[in-house]
Amino acid sequence: MAQFEFVAWLVKWLLSQPDFEFDCDNGNAIKSVNKHNVPVESAEQIFRNKEVLAPLGIQISPSTNEPRFGALGMDLLGRRLSVCFTIRSGKIRIISVRPM
């Protein structure tokens, strides 16, 4: 299971964005549906539902080639979800999304 370390700048950045752009990875999108029955669109809804968005911070374990971040939130169906993502050129790229 991934471990995260809280970083204040992530909270400020997420909450300051009027909207988000997403960079889709079809492989990760298919994996999230097949393994966890959660479409990537649900992960995108987490970021737009700032009232329940809870950033976890930067992933410290397991190590990765690029910074990864975690957040908890709720989609429009009320499902509580955990999302792992990275930020590339100011866009959020979903790595995985699953039920909490």
| pLDDT tens-place string over residues 31-52 | 999 999 999 999 999 999 888 8
Cut 0.85: pTM above it:
yes
DSSP letter for 32, please: H
Tell whether the torsion through CA atoms of 74, 96, 30 and 45 is positive or negative.
positive
State residue 44's pLDDT score.
94
Checking if the pLDDT of 73 tops 90, the result is yes
State residue 1's pLDDT score.
79
Q: Using pLDDT thresholds of 50, 70 and 90, give the confidence band for residue 24.
A: confident
- Which residues share a beta bridge with 98? 82
Tokens of 75: 């989609």
Strand ranges in 47-90 using DSSP code E only, listed in sequence order? 54-61, 69-74, 80-88
